[in-house]
Structure formats: structure tokens, C-alpha cells
Amino acid sequence: MTRLRKILESRPALVRVLPFAVFLGLTLLQGRLGPASLYWVYLLKTLVGACLVWLVWPLVAEMRWRFGWDALLTGVLVFVLWVSLGQGWGTQQELWGLFGSAVDAPAAAPVWNPFASFADAPGIAWLFVVVRVIGSAIVVPPIEEAFYRSFVYRSLVAGGFDKVALGHFAWGPFLFTSLVFGFAHQEWLAGILCGAAYQWLVIRHGRLGEAMTAHAITNVLLGIWVVATGDWRFW
């Protein structure tokens, strides 16, 4: 770990991309190594992701949690938008279906429901629920915010990302990053609005902290919603 950290110290772009790339790679493995791997690989990627966040934390100055009322309100608002818009043509399956056979819709993600998969072992099911909530609230926000809102957004601004202030606003990068973030999720419309809201927080404060907090609040509320209502499609 120490040797890897020394390598990353001189590569500011890599230090923001590597955790996301590894996390994404493990995400793509979920469910591909057998049905149970949908859950075990999530546990693995949460642990690996936590280690990567710990590794790069001293090297990414903007990756610091901050709380504010605008972060709280944004987190709640994005949650409401997600459950309201994450259905019908607000999902990629339905969106591409509007184009008929002209466009192949991306495959729907497997339903993530540990209570159905581990019906005879409720303790294991609850373990994976806890892991999912913790992972989405503590590990995902710093990884995704550092990648999308710090690296991708600023890389699209002339001059190089490490020379652009986090509070700098530019329409092109703002719209492009929001679109990319949105279509990285099945709930594309809510995802675009979500990406725009988090980027607004970053620009407003000139740091990632409030966006990380809003992201965490959204994901915790979404986790509570999923478990309370049984609407597992959001996971």
C-alpha cells in the first residue's frame, strides 16, 4: 500500500480515477460468477473500495466530508426525484424501447433482493442489506464524487483538471458530466438531475464535501425506501 501511494502521489489524475475504475470493474463482475456473486462481489467491492478511499484520502485534498443545510436538502430532493422518475421512460429499458428495434436497450441489471436469494438464511440477507447501505453511503460517495465532479468535470475545462478550481462553472462540462453520470444508471433521467444537483453543490462551495454528504443522504434514504417498501428495482 505504501509503495502504491508513493506512485499515486505524482499522478493526480490516476489517484481520482483508480478507485472508480476498480470499483466499476468489480461491479461488472456482480452476478457473472453465479447468482450468489451478486451479493458476495458487492461485499468484496465495498471492502476494496473502502481500502482505496483510505489509500487516496491523503492525496485528494477535496475529498473531505462537509455538512450543510443545502447538502441535506439536496440529498432529500434527489431521493424524491429518484423514486418519482425512476420508472416508465425514466429508465433506460423503457427509453430505448421507444425507439423500437432501431436501438438495442442495455440489459437490465439483476434484481438485488437478498431476502429472496437467501430465504432460508435471513441473517445473511440482513448482512448484505447492511453492507449495501454502508457501501452506498460511505464508500460510493467519495469514489464517485472524486471521479465525476472533480476529475471528469475539470478535465473538460481547458487547462487541465488540476489547474481548474472546483468552483469554476462551465456549461459544456456541467451538462456533459451530468449526462454521463445519468446514463451510468438505469434511472437515467433521475441520474442526470442528480448529477447536476451534486455538481451544483461542488461549484457552490468549491469542494466535494457537501456533494459527498448529499450523495450519502440520498443513498441512505433510498436504502430505507427499498427495504421498507420492497421496491428492489432501485437496488
Look at the block and give the residue holding cell 421507444: 98
Cα separation, 78 vs 141, whole angstroms: 14
Q: CA-CA distances (angstroms) from residue 168 to 14, 153, 155?
A: 21, 10, 12
Residues 83 and 225 sit within 8 Å (Cβ to Cβ): yes
Q: Could you report the per-residue pLDDT of 117-162, keeping only the tens digit for each?
A: 999 999 999 999 999 999 999 999 999 999 999 999 999 997 778 8
If you ran DSSP here, which 8-state letter would residue 157 be given? S
Q: What is the pLDDT of residue 109?
A: 66
Look at the block and give the residue holding cell 436497450: 105
pTM of the model as a whole: 0.92
Residues 6+ apart with CB under 8 A from 8: 14, 15, 18, 55, 56, 59
**Per-residue DSSP letters for 174-216?**
HHHHHHHHHHTSSSHHHHHHHHHHHHHHHHHHTSSHHHHHHHH
Q: What is the pLDDT of residue 100?
A: 64
Q: What is the pLDDT of residue 94?
A: 84
118: helix, strand or coil: coil
- Residue 34 phi/psi, 5° resolution? 110, 155
Q: What is the pLDDT of residue 104?
A: 58
- What residue ranges of the chain have pLDDT lower than 70? 1, 100-109
Residues 174 and 31 sit within 8 Å (Cβ to Cβ): no
Produce one character per residue of 106-117: b if its CB has 16 or more CB atoms within 10 Å, e if not.
eeebeebbbbeb
Other Cβ atoms closer than 10 A to 232: 14
Other Cβ atoms closer than 10 A to 25: 11
Q: What is the pLDDT of residue 105?
A: 56
Distance from the Cα of residue 203 to its chain's centroid: 18
Show me where the domains of the chain are located.
64-234
